[in-house]
Amino acid sequence: MPYPSSIFSYCRKIRLVLLCVGFLGGPLGCQNGGTTQTHGTGTPEAASAPPRLDSPGVLYVWVDPSGTFKTTEVPTEIQGPARSLVRVMVPGHASGSENSVWVVDLSAPGTPPRPYPRTEWEGQSKGVRDARIEAAKPAPAEPSQVAASGISATIYGASWCKPCHLAEEYLKSKGAKVTKKDIEEDSRASDEMRTKLRGAGLSGASIPVLDVGGTILVGFSAHAIDQALALALRKP
């Protein structure tokens, strides 16, 4: 039974997007039935003019707030800052070159597509994800806040352990009340440390082991201590 031509058209567009965005793993480039020409810096040149957005079957590609590439044939579906940098692909028109792609600023109606560096456009995804992760990080706890909250920390270690001393210095600089317990000199301290590790689902292959406001950490990491202090400040 013959299939409707619309299905073939849809599949062809999906394949084109996967090839251009790079999901198929091969070299980044588009093969849409024509030859992509470049000149100088690799600016896409097809009939020496940018693609026309009033052509049938225009496909728009953008990066959503999660850093994921999305596609649509309806530009009004694209909202927010992503509208300022949208890739366009038009059937029958070279969709890019090794070094650049066609993009359009949908927030400025009437603006024609322009060439844009391919690596920068494709790098948007990672940039958006990195920015989202950075924004989600808790702000480092201020020493005055930690001291005022009376946050305490216990260090399980040994006198010869340099990271243990570094952890002590850092915790004190952040305003925490520090208690040191030598697991070699005090068997009760060793048992206490192991009990806390088991309770946290951790194994202790090294020291120091830190109890920072109820968060158990293995080893010295200023960033991990900052996170534990920020968490302790948020506790009721």
Which tens digit of pLDDT belongs to each residue from 182-217? 999 999 999 999 999 999 988 766 899 999 999 999
**Which has more confidence, 148 or 30?**
148
Name the band, by pLDDT with cuts 50, 70 and 90, for residue 28.
Answer: very low
Which string of DSSP letters, residue by residue, matches 112-180? PPEEEEHHHHHHHHHHHHHHHHHHHSPPPPPHHHHHHHT-EEEEEE-TT-HHHHHHHHHHHHTT-EEEE
Class of domain 143-234: alpha beta
Do residues 212 and 232 lie in contact, with contact meaning Cβ atoms separated by under 8 Å?
yes
Predicted local confidence at residue 26, as pLDDT: 34
Single-letter residue type at 70: K
Mean pLDDT value across the chain: 80
Q: What is the mean pLDDT of residues 11-35?
A: 40
Q: Helices (H) and strands (E) in the chain — how many of each?
A: 6, 9
Paired strand residues for 181: 156
184: three-class secondary structure by DSSP: coil
Q: Is 185 helix (H, G, I), strand (E, B) or coil?
A: coil
121 exposed, middle or buried (CB, 10 Å; 0-12, 13-18, 19+)? Answer: buried
Domain with CATH 3.40.30.10 in the chain: 143-234
Name beta bridge partners: 101. 96, 116
Q: Residue 19: which pLDDT band, with cuts at 50, 70 and 90? A: very low
CB 93 within 8 A of CB 51: yes
What would the mean pLDDT of 92-100 be, rounded to a whole number? 84
